[in-house]
Structure 1
Amino acid sequence: MHTMWKGTISFGLVNIPVKMHAATENKDVKLRQLHKECQSPVKYEKVCPVCDRKVENEEIVKAYEYAKNKFVILDDEELEALQKEQADKAVEIVDFVKLEEIDPIYFEKSYYLSPNEGGGKAYGLLRSALKDTGKIGVAKMIIRSKEQLAVIRVYENTLIVETIHYPDEVRSVQDVPNVPEEVAVAKKELDTAKMLIDQLTAEFDPEKYKDEYRTALLDLIEDKKNNEQTTTVKDVSTRPATATGADNLMDALQASLERAKKEKPKPKQPKRKTKTTTQKKKTAT
């Protein structure tokens, strides 16, 4: 299992060297976008709308937009200094609380913790203490350049870290539109609803829940493969590099304009009217 982070978890004077591993994985079926005409993968490029050209990674800086079109630029050295200052700190458990006191809306992502070299005994100590007290630890830690609020708890026989949202990251329920206030419900309807809930009540077994859409999509893909309903993308990796996207936008527009001028038919000159015999006679008289 890939190690995402190494550090120290501490509570009181106890320090536990640990490694962190992702506890979950996204199994969504990723679909690419192809150009319908030639069935080649579509590229997404970073383009500056003012300079009207593609921008390379080394030309990009980070900034915070504090007002419309007004930015504070932050260079990489400043950001790295802040991150290092926080990352060097041990992850300290600041409180112990009961799991049921935290509403599920706060939970974000789960990570397994394994003991690093020499941390097995302290790891086992924290695990046993959490099990016996029925508590979880609340801590702060830096993950991927962001300070995270997290809880540390026991899952089966393993310590697990679950990142949780800060209170100001959870939107207020007062902002949810069209939520009715207390609604008068007939007793018969309420009793029937409760009976239905009782009939559908079961012990939670995660194994019985399947992603039916993903299964059906994979079956469809496999069926198309077996019936040779596939396409092969042309290998363009050996082609010489050429300007693309906004790099040659003005050239393309100019060339199109020149071509349009050449192809545009010349306007027909209006035919000069010839005098009829009657008009000639009138003029003569």
Structure 2
Amino acid sequence: MAGPKANWKGYIKFGEVSCPVALYTAASSSERIAFNTLNRKTGNRVKREFIDSETGDPVEREDQVKGYEVENGQYVVLEPEEVSAAVPESNKTLKIEAFIPCSQNDTTYFDKPYYLAPDKMGTGAFLLLRNGMKKEGVAAIAQTVLFRRLRTVLIRPHGKGLIASTLNFDYEVRSSEKAFEEMPDLKIEGEMLEVAEHIIGTKVGSFDASTFDNRYEVAVAELVKAKIEGLQAKKNPAE
């Protein structure tokens, strides 16, 4: 059986050492139930069409361009070749810029995780990096061009390999100050704190993702199954 398909292949470089690696999707929504939009009257799928907001006429693909709104109804137009020219060149290298203590990882900045594994002949150098990071308790900050964008990546030891999480840029993460600015500065101590400690103590558990219950997905799956069974019953009525 063929193994998983890599999303990206290149090299990881730390100091003067480098080795070929591959990125594999670690989290995907492809297993979720997906719906198509249909015409209720005919049962046929509908298709999307781009319409000029003023004339109401359909706009063909070759006439569609990117535009940035500078003020109400006024746009600057960016041609496809201009947008392509802004995409940074890729040298296919995850260059480690720094190693940081794992305790400094701020999960607020985490975007999407990928498994990072050695590709072909790079196992020795890869294991050197993984084992060294495990021993020192550190994560690595690296940069490379992924999917046409310059991305910063946080790399951590994970199982037999590494896990690389793309990071949001600082301007993409909202400050927590406004969310908490109206929270009163109360001092909780004594019996009240003991009550909280007791409740926490009675609910101690361990992280097990297999116990997470997606009730919506289960309910929709059961609904779809019932609909299919009903359709089959109509096609094959009992004698």
1:53 maps to 2:44: no
Distance 2:95 2:233 in 1: 53
Residues 174 and 144 of structure 1: CA distance in aligned 2, closer, same or farther (over 3 Å): same
Structure with greater proportional helix content: 1
**Residue aligning to 1:277:** none
Distance 1:147 1:231 in 2: 54
Contact 2:9 2:92 in 1 (8 A): no
Q: How many residues align?
A: 231
Which of 111, 116, 126 does residue 114 from structure 2 map onto?
111
Which of 27, 33, 47 does residue 29 from structure 1 map onto?
33
Which of 160, 165, 168 does residue 168 from structure 2 map onto?
165
Structure with max Cα Rg: 1
How big is the shift at 1:67? 3.5
**Residue aligning to 2:78:** 74
One-letter amino acid matched to 1:76: P
Secondary structure, in 3 states, of the residue corresponding to 2:131? helix
One-letter amino acid matched to 1:105: T
How big is the shift at 1:187? 4.6
Residues 191 and 177 of structure 1: CA distance in aligned 2, closer, same or farther (over 3 Å): closer
Contact 1:14 1:122 in 2 (8 A): yes
Q: Which runs of 5+ in 1 are unaligned?
A: 233-285
Which of 138, 142, 158 does residue 145 from structure 2 map onto?
142
Contact 1:139 1:149 in 2 (8 A): yes
Residues 53 and 231 of structure 1: CA distance in aligned 2, closer, same or farther (over 3 Å): farther
One-letter amino acid matched to 1:37: K
- CA offsets, 1:25-59, max 9 Å, x none? 11332122323333333322111123421112221
Choose 189-198 or 11-20, whichever is displaced more: 189-198
Secondary structure, in 3 states, of the residue corresponding to 1:152? strand
Residues 43 and 89 of structure 1: CA distance in aligned 2, closer, same or farther (over 3 Å): closer
Contact 1:112 1:160 in 2 (8 A): yes
CA RMSD of aligned residues (A): 2.5
Contact 1:113 1:158 in 2 (8 A): yes
- CA offsets, 1:101-144, max 9 Å, x none? 12221111111122223322221221111111111100112222
Identity of aligned residues (%): 28
One-letter amino acid matched to 1:45: E
TM-score, length of structure 1 as denominator length: 0.72
Residues 57 and 135 of structure 1: CA distance in aligned 2, closer, same or farther (over 3 Å): same
**Residue aligning to 1:8:** 11
Contact 1:39 1:231 in 2 (8 A): no
| 1:166-205 equivalence runs, <5 A | 166-176=169-179, 179-183=182-186, 187-205=190-208
Contact 2:25 2:114 in 1 (8 A): yes
How big is the shift at 1:178? 7.4
One-letter amino acid matched to 1:119: G
| 1:208-227 equivalence runs, <5 A | 208-227=211-230
Secondary structure, in 3 states, of the residue corresponding to 2:174? coil
Residues 212 and 18 of structure 1: CA distance in aligned 2, closer, same or farther (over 3 Å): same
Residues 230 and 178 of structure 1: CA distance in aligned 2, closer, same or farther (over 3 Å): farther
Secondary structure, in 3 states, of the residue corresponding to 1:227? helix
Q: Which runs of 5+ in 2 are unaligned?
A: none
Contact 2:14 2:95 in 1 (8 A): yes
How big is the shift at 1:163? 0.7
TM-score, length of structure 2 as denominator length: 0.85
Secondary structure, in 3 states, of the residue corresponding to 2:217? helix
One-letter amino acid matched to 2:13: S
Distance 1:56 1:149 in 2: 36
How big is the shift at 1:99? 2.1
Distance 1:231 1:111 in 2: 45
Distance 1:183 1:78 in 2: 55
